[in-house]
Structure 1
């Protein structure tokens, strides 16, 4: 596609390391600048990766930045995205697209008006794990999909994250934090969601940080920490979803897909690879070889996929997909609190499948 897309990162916290590692081996993108509220941290990252350390405003105004990679906390996602769009730049952000649906819509509306592109994590669905499972579904190996289960249960991120506050305010919680991986995978596998029902609980008002310099500090909790529901896909398939920061451990499969003639065990959607297992009717469990997706992928491959897509053509980790996933999750919370089914007003196309290949622009 010619010259690489010049990337400026805003927010160089824990997740940025995974993006930086991916960019080192991709020639579809080039890191040119970084910014962070912690200027010393920004300079350290910039020096380590041959980039420039700028202020946030300086990066947004920099003509050498084509796309702003927005790795700020969820509460800041929309504000940074809107400023980048106003500067005429493409935006790719960490999930969720915004902390609430109104802000997410404002981002997409502004991008359409400005003629720039908006992408959003997770891009884990582009790896061989989810893509091999999708190919199995699309190839009819389980017949017509009927149902799915998806679960993420853990004791909470405060046990390992040194600054976990944002997980327990609006825009966080198990559903808004981890749900995007699972709901995006379900939409990729089974198509968009039409309506939801659900229930939720808020079990504790505080959490205790378990590691780092703030270990032992108590932080408030203002979101639901256990959410469960049923998603009715437009196809008619039903997905049961459980997202929890209130469980000690689980041995359940992350995602299972059940069809009329077979069942699939799908690997963890927080990772790019993993074994896909098929049990055909009358048969036994077998592991499918990788048959689709980007090999050896990592966070940042969604940015490279965007960079390799000609302007005006749909790319896979799109803002429209992220918006539909966010609306599905916020509708689930609404359903949990109202006790009624809630219609998901938006829809989206299933992203194009990824044939088995190396990443776009990879050396």
Structure 2
């Protein structure tokens, strides 16, 4: 049985637990949260052991165990540092850290200790992302030339988010989400896919802004819109938008010489990947309006979860892939290098403002190995 410990049992922790239902081989030895009332409610709901302190949690987790850091973003650095110092591998919710200096410190500490360090999101390990990446490798659309990706979530500040609760009753952390910003919270869903397909980003040209002020009364919140052009070391160019203002749009399109590969749902591990062939019709160049579904060679991929709100994602794919990596004596696909590079690109986009210019990235990561069933 694999050993995990959870720190932080708010809204997102229920999404992890719902995902772990599909993976009964995972064993969670205990949970800790600063909010003891919330901790009790969560543990009672999921029949887990509540720990009185972080130290007690570390004592209960066997050597070589994995700490799932599901705390609020501002606490990620401190909690991950403590877990690494205690000798445990760490899988953190996004972002790895809200400051790049802190992210580098975590990366260095994991390296010194010989421990694995990864951060969400893990949908890049899911069936849809892996199918899209395989189609790109196989040249289904010909040589890829450009990517358009959207992570636009609608006018969230007008949504009835005070009624959004998780399975165990935790409220959606609206103020924290607005303070952290949609780019830090969501850009990784497609950045990880792009990095897995095309490798590291060399240059970021971006802009960001807060166009709906007052989401948290009396506070200046993080940008609620960002638009980035990403120049990859291998030559690919991608545009990524991320907003909580523009109408909901979660599609990604990889434009190639023969046509376009398209996915309409970033947050669905089983969303179809479709190829829209390009052809000439009466002296006009058009893409086939009805795409052909692209399939893997196997139907055996990974456990799926039901839909929860706008998402149908298995949040346990990342932690379980880390566990498999430990079993096989290798680095995990969501490696520390991958997490650090993701953090740098995301912060560059969010912090771009109106006058950032071109920003050269200083971190690098290797091209991700496909999942065994998607090779």
2:176 pairs with 1:166: yes
Contact 2:142 / 2:257 at 8 angstroms: preserved in 1? yes
Name the residue aligned to 1:60. 58
Q: Greater CA deviation, 308-317 or 115-124?
A: 308-317
2:338 pairs with 1:321: yes
Gaps of 5+ in 1: 209-217, 358-363
Name the residue aligned to 2:308. none
C-alpha change, 1:119 and 1:49, in structure 2 (3 Å) is same
Structure 2 distance, partners of 1:219, 1:312, is 50
Name the residue aligned to 1:141. 140
Q: Secondary structure at the match of 2:187?
A: helix
1:334 CA displacement? 4.7
Describe the superposition over 1:32-88 as per-residue Cα deviations: whole angstroms up to 9, x where unpaired.
100112213222333343432112232134343711100000000010000001111
Name the residue aligned to 1:106. 105
Name the residue aligned to 2:87. 88
Contact 1:294 / 1:354 at 8 angstroms: preserved in 2? no
Note the 1:213-292 alignment, pairs <5 A.
Answer: 218=217, 220-247=219-246, 249-250=247-248, 252=249, 254-282=251-279, 284=288, 285-291=291-297
Q: Secondary structure at the match of 1:207?
A: coil
Contact 1:150 / 1:255 at 8 angstroms: preserved in 2? yes
Contact 2:87 / 2:113 at 8 angstroms: preserved in 1? yes
C-alpha change, 1:224 and 1:44, in structure 2 (3 Å) is closer
Name the residue aligned to 1:338. 355
Structure 1 distance, partners of 2:10, 2:43, is 13
RMSD value, Cα:
2.2
Structure 2 distance, partners of 1:36, 1:16, is 11
Question: Which of 43, 48, 53 is matched with 1:46 structurally?
Answer: 43
TM-score under structure 2 length normalisation = 0.84
Name the residue aligned to 2:118. 119
1:241 CA displacement? 1.0
1:200 CA displacement? 1.6
Contact 2:183 / 2:349 at 8 angstroms: preserved in 1? no
2:301 pairs with 1:303: no
Structure 2 distance, partners of 1:267, 1:348, is 27
Structure 1 distance, partners of 2:146, 2:119, is 27
Name the residue aligned to 2:282. none
Describe the superposition over 1:163-187 as per-residue Cα deviations: whole angstroms up to 9, x where unpaired.
3112232xx2121111111211111
